[in-house]
Structure 1
């Protein structure tokens, strides 16, 4: 299943994509394994708390957000949001399966540079059993309005 807002956002921008079903997986890394895709090319969403509202950090599933680097980039104190904080923001998605397309949800987005210029990128479609697969150049177009930077580190 693809989340309604995500589908509308992709189709409104005429961005081609495929769907890839996989067995249920709770985490992004488990999802990469279940779908047999490289974890460093599976974009995962991490909701960040700012005083002004939520911020979405998009990083490879094999990494974690480097809050120090992200704070320096955004020039403000930030914190990791609780998973429950995603529910009102990504209201058409299963808990913990938010797509990395904050723009479809009116959430400012920052993406790690390592997810740019790839051949193929995968990301959650809004549930724990489906991935969106996009050519890297289309994903780059999708994320071009997001801020870009070096915002992750090894887990």
Structure 2
């Protein structure tokens, strides 16, 4: 008997897909083969899926008075920390430590989805999302993105929209 083939992990069943299904929101799965050497997880996803980088959104966590919060911005832009703080009604925020982000969300860095996180955190989605019929976000692990309508992303994360990317 030869070596067993690698076990394929099902594409469904992440906390993000479970949450979307429970909420009755339409979404599509977009798996791709992640490159361990990729410098930018989000730009890697955009290239692998042949989607414009402005339509693919990354999930970032910030920290400050009031605790952790989630920012969702296009992968080809940076988070404007001052704009994020203003959107949250806070004086100042800083990028959260990766270990804190992983502990709060239940996801690993590079696969943090804004949907289905362990804790419900204040969330702000960059308002550029409304310029698309569908946006792409992490599905809860590297190599899996989810596409959904921007209004469904906002509903699933209880987010507010604000200009937080630059």
TM-score > 0.5 by shorter chain: yes
Q: Higher relative CO (CA 8 A, sep ≥ 6), structure 1 or 2?
A: 1
Q: Which protein is richer in strand relative to its size? A: 1
* 8 Å contact kept, 2:29–2:145: yes
Alignment of 1:124 with 2:138, yes or no, is yes
State which of 77, 88, 94 in structure 1 corresponds to 2:92: 77
Larger Rg: 2
Taking structure 2 as the reference length, the TM-score comes to 0.80
CA distance in 1, matches of 2:122, 2:150: 21
Structure 1 residues 77 and 137, CA gap change in structure 2 (3 angstroms): closer
CA distance in 1, matches of 2:104, 2:117: 11
How many residue pairs get matched?
151
- Where in structure 2 are the equivalents of 1:132-151 lying within 5 Å? 132-143=146-157, 145-151=158-164
Root-mean-square deviation (Å):
2.1
Taking structure 1 as the reference length, the TM-score comes to 0.85
1:60 aligned residue: 74
Structure 1 residues 137 and 51, CA gap change in structure 2 (3 angstroms): closer
Structure 2 residues without counterparts, runs of 5 or longer: 1-10
Q: What do residues 25-54 of structure 1 show as CA deviations (whole Å, max 9, x unaligned)?
A: 451111111221111111110100123221
Displacement, 1:152?
1.0
- Where in structure 2 are the equivalents of 1:19-38 lying within 5 Å? 19-25=29-35, 26=38, 27-38=41-52
Structure 1 residues 81 and 102, CA gap change in structure 2 (3 angstroms): farther
